[in-house]
Amino acid sequence: MDILRLPAVGEFLRAATQLYNHGWAERNAGNISMILDEDFSSLKSIKEFPLSFSAEGMSGRCVLITGSGKYLKNAERDPENNVALLRIKDDRCELLWGLADGGKPSSELAAHLLSHSARLKADPAHRVVMHTHATHAVAMTFVHSLDEREFTRTLWQMATEAIMFFPDGVAVLPWMPCGTDEIGRATAEKMSDRRVVVWAHHGVFGSGASPDEALGLIETVDKAAEFYLLTAHLPIRQKINDSQLREMAAVLGVKPREGYLI
Ligand code: 13P
Ligand code: ZN
């Protein structure tokens, strides 16, 4: 099977390039994973990587993920060396394709697999988890309260349609060491009822049914954060208020997270 011919794989690789073009994927920053539904039973395991966590509902599934230390800017040009196709088992994963010049799956594998597990329970159409160092969203974590309600409300107030893109709100994790099972578990817990998690002073995790959807979600968060940073130091003369947010939510047919609007 030529996995590079699958349309979803093309979209995955394009998203890696798009993250780089945004300026959000310096060096090896960021990682993407996508559940693939095709039948890969003809592919044999090349090698195995142990898992120190258990991602419920993921055993038997196949996941495409960028490699640790690999540069997202190179993924589309050279997928076989920068990306891995994994078959997930209970306590390990098998490499079925990719990482041809060596290496391991992303160091954020726990956050990816545990988030897939959490999102699939909330939304059967879920397929993609994306982590990137989105500039404005990260910058905002230095100057804004990290309270999730306050953070979300500010973002909603910054762009008329923001409430449509993330009505469940944006989750925020305080600074933690990255690449650990602990940050993976904390991220997945937030993902159980939201699609986007900001890691203070580090980056953003977004999810969706496709690479376009996950990337689009992170773009909307980052754009709202950019408006905030462009205006936070200026006298605000008018803004979108709560009754306008309610009006917008009604027009768009979305239900804002309970208790977030006044
Ligand atoms: P990896 O190269 O291991 O995917 O790590 C990049 C990153 O952004 C860690 O948070
Ligand atoms: Zn990162």
Distance 246 CA to ligand 2 centre (A): 34
Q: Which ranges of 22-159 would DSSP assign to H, the alpha helix?
A: 72-75, 79-82, 109-122, 135-143, 148-158
Q: 45-102, pLDDT tens digit by residue? A: 999 999 999 999 999 999 999 999 999 999 999 999 999 999 999 999 999 999 999 9
Q: Which atom of ligand 1 is nearest to the CA of 69?
A: 2
Return d(Cα 33, Cα 94) in angstroms, integer.
15
Q: Rounded CA gap, 99 and 82, in Å?
A: 6
For residue range 88-117, what is the model confidence (pLDDT) as tens digits? 999 999 999 999 999 999 999 999 999 999
Rounded to the nearest whole angstrom, what is the distance from the C-alpha of residue 235 to the centroid of ligand 2? 34
Q: Is the pLDDT of residue 151 over 90?
A: yes
Q: Is 100 in the pocket of ligand 1 (CB under 6 A)?
A: no
- pLDDT score recorded for residue 16: 99
Q: Is there an atom of ligand 1 within 6 Å of 74 CB? A: no
Q: Is the CB of 208 under 6 A from ligand 1?
A: no
Residue 199 CA: which ligand 1 atom is closest? Answer: 10
Distance from C-alpha of 242 to C-alpha of 250, rounded to nearest angstrom: 12
pTM over 0.95: yes
Provide the sign of the torsion angle of the four alpha carbons 191, 193, 194, 200, taken in this order: negative
Q: Around Cβ 24, how many Cβ atoms within 10 Å?
A: 25
Residue 42 pLDDT exceeds 90: yes
Is the CB of 107 within 6 Å of ligand 1?
yes
Residue 147 Cα, ligand 2 centroid: separation in angstroms? 21
Q: Is the pLDDT of residue 1 over 90?
A: no
Q: What's the pLDDT tens digit per position in 5-14? A: 999 999 999 9
Closest atom of ligand 1 to 178 CA is 10
d(CA 57, CA 35): 12
Per-residue model confidence as pLDDT tens digits over 114-136: 999 999 999 999 999 999 999 99
The residues that bridge with 130 in the sheet, in sequence order, are 32, 206
Q: How far apart are CA 202 and CA 222, in angstroms?
A: 13
The structural domains of the chain, ordered by start, are 3-252 (3.40.225.10)
